[in-house]
Amino acid sequence: MVQNKIEKSDTEWKNILTPEQYHVLRQKGTERPFSGNLYYNKEKGVYTCAACGQELFSSSTKFESGSGWPSFYDVISSDRVRLQEDTSYFMNRIEVVCARCGSHLGHVFEDGPEPTGKRYCINSVSLGFRKEDEAAKEKGKE
């Protein structure tokens, strides 16, 4: 279930995000490949939106794509993200945004592993991470 939508002004986002997070999440930027701290993360847990905390991806769907960005073959629930056409930079891609706050996460491609065949290629700076035991504690509070 998607939590209540979050709407903030650019000034508010700038006050709570780092400059790099703001550039990627709010201005649809991209971090350099292989530079994000979560690209190498192998721990079990839940990946969240760095801007609003909504749970997006499970570590059980993370895989090594060789792309340089964290890759997942599925989302926790389809209502957690919105997919929209992106024709920037003279390319046709599908952008992935957080359904709760509208932040840019990355793109999805049709070259992933089974069972979905999808590769959600997500900027590490767009994500937070909660270890499995921390995520379980959070679920108990809801």
Catalytic residues: 121
Cα separation of 105 and 92, whole Å?
Answer: 16
107 near 95, Cβ under 8 Å? yes
With CA atoms as reference, report the closest residue to 47 among 127, 121, 116, 124: 127
65 near 52, Cβ under 8 Å? no
